[in-house]
Structure 1
Amino acid sequence: MAPFCLSLTTFLLSLLLIPLSEQIQTPHTQLLLQMRKQLEYPKLLDAWNNTDDLCYSPSSPNLSVACNGSSVTELKIVGEKLAKPGEYDGHSVPGKTLSAAFVVDSFVTTLARLTTLKVLILVSLGIWGPLPDKIHRLYSLRVLDLSSNFLCGSIPPKISAMTKLQTISLDGNYFNGTVPDWFAALTNLTVVSLQRNRLTGPIPDSIGRISTLTGLVLSGNTISGEIPDLSRLNKLEMLDLRDNKLHSELPDMPTGLVTVLLSKNSLAGEIPPQFGQLDRLQHLDLSFNLLEGTPPAALFSLPNISYLNLASNSLSGSLPESLTCSSHLGFVDMSTNRLSGELPSCLISNSNKMVLNFSWNCLPVDTQHQHDSEFCHLSSMNEMGPRKKNRPPLFAIVVVGGILFVMVLALLVLFVYRRRNCHRAVVEQGLSPKPAPDNSAAGISSEFLANARYISQTMKLGTQELPTHRAFSLEELKEATNNFEQSAFIGEGSIGKLYKGRLENGILVAIRCLALFKKYSIRNLKLRLDLLSKLRHPHLVCLLGHCIDTEQDDSSVNRVFLIYEYVANGDLRAHLSEHSLEKVLKWSDRLAVLIGIAKAVHFLHTGIIPGFFNNRLKANNILLDEHLIAKVSDYGLSIITEEIYKHEAKAECQNPTYRRSPYLEMAHLEDDVYSFGFILLEALMGRAFSKKGAEHCLKELTEQRGSLDPAVVSSSQESLSIMISITTKCLSQESSRPSIEDVLWNLQYAAQVQAAADGDQ
């Protein structure tokens, strides 16, 4: 008996020696701690170290746990590992994701044991891989938000079994396949948000049967086909289908809509008159489509309309003089259409109270930024011609055949010309039958580059035709620069040596020379140059051509030359007062320059897919022409120079004493909005800033103690306040920075306010 008592005593003592926290942890607390381990102990979850029962852990905007008794009902974790376009291809594991040891199936298995969860928000945690079907075991879930991770593959069909689900948000991931047609099985569904993924195919008709739906957000995919019938969705308030490939006519819309965003598609036909009956509508964006006809006058007088964007379509005709404008209307953009006639008085009289853009139409106002009336007349005739004239099929065949013959002949002449003048620059792809896989830092494969989607700037912006891009021979460049003599050398620029040259036809050019390495894929380089050549915009320095300098056997690359238009009026920094009081820009001119830069950056981000980010924005890369029009230089070079970065990064790792070149220093620049913030600050203050200096200066400005550039201090205080506010936002933490569209809107608003103040004076 004694040995038994002794053993029992020992056992009881051992229980007492176990830490109290391990004895009283609830099963759900243990599951949450297991999840923290699987998420590789994010710093945000250090707050869980201070409590034994996570139901009573401290809450913050990024972290919260709610319980019913000891059962977790709500879990919200918002981290910092943002998913960015091109960073994850579904196979490799980039730095922003959790490590290669992370197993999404094991993580979801642990998660699914929290069966009492009603709200699950796991955002920006670096979770990667296909989302397992077993997520449907969370049968009590009302809200599912897994945005800004690296989830890929198809959206699991078994989610359709989660019948209590009200909100599903999978934004900013890498899901592919089509938009699921089983959403209609979720009878309580109110919000579907799948923006910024890789979804293709049409929007299923079944979406139009989800009578409970209040928000449908599918922007930033490659969804095609028609917009389905949504007229029965009486509760729908938000419809966001921007930046897809939709190509139908506009259908009638649900009458309860508050926000309709359909820009950057290929929607055609006229704007239905029914749009003028959407009395709750506040925000309508139909820009960058192929819409025709005259916009319904009722759009402008909708009782709640505040934002109306019809820019970059083919709208024609004239607005009635009797047009009435809603008292809430604060933004109207009708630019780049074919409108004619007088502007209605309600738009002119309210121009001081609203941002109004009507450039590049055929209106008898601001004629410097309008087409002549013949442009709109001919465009309208061209559109109406095929409809009004029933030409015989044989005639049409002859015309089309003639056009095709001329095109083939022109291509043949161009091909012969390029073979003769740039023999060394054009390398036949057959010499490289099996190019190495391209694991680019930006995650852009050669196949993706070859099939990239372009958006015609001539159609979008109504700009004058720019010179075509062509291949140059090395001999042409040597002749233009007198064999690259020292007098032609301009400087290093931000990357590569820069030379000034004069072509045989007398045109001045700037020639940038980039040194490459022997292993650079010829085919890959040509694809990237072709992609770069498509970037045509009035506020970008025009890329006129390129030349590839190869070895004798044409199998490897030594150098690539990029030939740009020469902009002779200096850079933005040279026009700020600290540098030159003789040619200092006044505030309204600075705003015009900044708006031009923002338009260029917006095009680089959205005008071509894949977009161009991290474009080395800084004041001395912004050139001004003789009319003080801003032109961004050194854009898009990362897709050409990343092989330099890879080579030097490898050398640096192998040899700690290796001195990295300026190329590698430029490889990890901040994003464009952040970089643009420094340009905005420099425009306000008249001088450049370091990161630390910018923080100090912004603090002084917001406290009204800052020293503005003398050239701007007498400007409109409201305009300056708008600028200081948007500059502060651009230079804030990454997660809270505005989009480039927001920056552009604020700049245009600041310019409008300043123009009104100048008019009063």
Structure 2
Amino acid sequence: MNHIKRNNNMMKFDNLKLQATSICLIMMVSLASSAKRDVGVLLEVKRRQLKGYDNELDDWLDSARNAPCSWTGISCQEGTNEVVSIDLSSFNLYGEFPADFCRISTLRNLNLSNNSLFGTLNSSAFSLCSHLVSLNISLNYFVGFLPELQTTLINLTSLDVSYNNFTGEFPSSFGYSLPEIQLLHLEGNLFNGSIPGFFSNLTTLTHLIFCFNDLFPSQLPSDIGRLTKLESLDARSTNLIGPIPNSIGGLVSIKLLDFSSNNLSGKVPGTIGNLKNAENIQLFSNGLSGELPDTFRNLTLLTWFDASENNLSGRIPESLASLDLLSFNLNDNSLEGAIPEVVASNPNLHEFKVFNNKLTGSIPFDLGLNSELVHFDVSMNNLEGPLPQKLCYKKQLQVLIIFGNKISGNFPEVYGECSTLSRVRMQDNEMLGKIPDAFWSISGIEHLEMSNNHLQGSIPPSIVDAELLKQLLISGNDFSGALPDVICNLRMMAIVDISRNRFSGQLPSCIGNLKKLLKFDGQENELHGEIPKQIGSMSELTELNLSHNQLSGNIPRVLGSMPVLTYLDLSRNSLSGRVPVELLKLNLNKFNVSDNKLEGEIPSGFDKSVYWSSFNGNPGLCSSGIRGLSSCTKAKPASFYMVAVLSVLAVILLGSLIWLFIKARAFRNKMRRSWKITSFHQGRFNEHDLLSALIEENLIGKGGSGLVYRVRFKNGQTVAAKRLFGVHKKPESEESFSSEVETLGKIRHGNIVKLLFSCIGDDFRVLVYEYIENGSLGDVLHGEKGGVLLDWPTRFSIAVGAAQGLAYLHHDCVPSIIHRDVKSNNILLDEDYRPKVADFGLARILEKDLEDDPIMSRVAGSYGYIAPEYAYTMKVTEKSDVYSFGVLLLELISGKRPNDSSFGENKDIVKFVTESTASYSDRASDYEPKINGYSNFDQLVDPRIDPSPYDYAEIKKVLDLAVSCTSALPADRPSMRRVVELLKEKTRPVSFRK
């Protein structure tokens, strides 16, 4: 019996093994079948719907081991090999939304962000993807309405559609079809509806971001406080109006609350004190009024608070001043009264900024004693009394900005021990006494500005230790003594302004060592001796002002060899000798040698009316063409023999002209035979017709690289032909030139002028482009077509199109192309005023051929558009183009040339705008300066625009972007791709004139 039972048990065990094996086989077959099905779906989507990817998806092969889990961008569930995630972000894809990905039923996460996908989305696409947990389609080019949801997406916790071109209302179905949503990103689109009340229904939200949308002016939902799980609420630049609702206190989990750059009004509610988890509260650039509530005491985690640019009044609440803040910012309000002493007791205060208010009294005596202050800015108030001794007590202070007050007393000796300082601006105060020697020698200081005080003493030799010093601005004081020779060792120096002091002695002969110096202003001092000849080696110097001194000797001829000098003022000295003819080589915007002891004939090139007043007060000068000066001795009448000689020369000249005509005709025939034509677009072009049309009557423009002619072929086609300057073909360079031109010829972009064909001959090169009927933006704004009214929407569309063209050159061309001469004359406008970037890439093509040409060896841009770093690096990068584009934006806003005289003497448009926002350059959010600070904004906007209120707000935002693009440091400028994104996220849809 036992034997029978044992056999039965063995049979049962074998049956169980058989069943288990069968189940495993079934599961393996099922998994294999599932994987095969997923492979088929993915390959079909790749074949039909994914375009433009580089080589990232080359490993999507059904023959690959462990496909599709081993493929790029695909993640599978461990153990089951089910596809759960597809991440194709930043793969350079284009095409419509690949909804068929969602046919993979196990898919939970789909990320298609930062591509070039386009088109509209429909409800069926969302329904097909109902099983997703997260969907990210941000940073693409989708348009139209965001569709209503026909299916409840019960699994979706994260939806990111930011930075597209969606418009219309936020879909109302979002209020009930997203029961588990936690992260909702809607920012950077073109939504123009109202702020929906259903936001308050999404009680599972932890992050609600809908900033940078031009919504219809509307209020926050009154019950917004229902979102008790919300940690981030970002509603910047969304046209919020009305008061902040009292229910805001219900956001008990909030960490980031940003309502900046809106039109909120009324008081800040006292319930803000309930946000006990808040770390960052941004309320700047609104119309909030009244006093700040004294309810901040419970906000113990708050480190950043900014309520600048409102209409707040009253004192700073003591409950706010006593928090452990990193940044305390109440700039540009109507705060009055004194800074409360309680501020000084804050142990973790890193940044203290209250600039542009009406604060009075003195700075708290112990401020800095208990705080590791890093950034201190109280500029543009009515503060008085001494500068506190303890601001740098913790030896952390880097930025000290106190300009525009009535601060008096001696400069504290203890600041000489503040070795961490890098930026000091204390101009326009009433400080006096001597600056301690140790302060001059702080090794890390880069910007030192002490102008317009009552400071005394001399610049000590110890300044040589300030090896990073770039700007020394100490004008309008009572400094004296000679400039120490060691100042020549400060090789980083870019700007020196010692004007309106009592400096004496001679200029150091070693001054030529300051190779990066851009500006030297030494006017109204007591300098004497000769101007050092070594100054001619300062190849980056653009401005030299030595007027109102006691300088003697001759004007050095080497000044004429300074390549970028545009401002030269040597007036009111004792200079003697002749005016050097070499100065005619300079491209001077300002020139003045009046009230000296100069003599002799003025070089004939200075007989233009703009220079007439430049020579007054020099009795020994004479000129036949300058009004107000005596004529030089006239030459005696020509003798009979001279007439005979001239007649013989005339005969020789006539014969030479006939000979040259014959040679030129032969040369032209030879050139016709030797030309090589490379065509990049369909069409028949005749080189004979092209050559015969390159005559003066067809000349329509002259650029830095050549002459441009309008050529009409016999087939009726009109083109623009550019004949390049100074090109001498060399065998070793022809192949390189042809390769470069071929690269340009392959470019296809709606905002870039088409290169149709090129002609290369012996010593002759012509590039032929499509002809753009409306000419250049410069012509329309400033030239003969200045009567054409460009309204703001058209100007904005031009800005976006030009930005897209440059972004294509920088980021989508391989190799990338730097334009190097971005300006309004190189932005052409078609019949619909759609912009097309012209003259791109020429600088790079020409540079190798022009290395030996002293005139054309550098193609670096046009005056007024050139980035400042070019002056000291002689290198042009993509960020140089960004700077020039920023100038172009300012030109579109103002309708004025970059160097228009209305900006003031020695100012261009960038300097004009920068000075208008000087006190804003030091705020924590440097990347986005605030427009309400532009004191000359109305003066800057072109009156021909006649902007609507919407236009007016949009212009302000574009001006913010222009300021960012023209930042002095290239690293602070956005890329052109980011510029396009910022234009899209802040402004209207692009639409061209019809």
Q: TM-score, normalised by structure 1?
A: 0.46
- Higher RCO, 1 vs 2 (CA within 8 Å, ≥6 residues apart): 1
Q: TM-score, normalised by structure 2?
A: 0.36
Q: Return the index of the structure with the highest Cα Rg.
A: 2
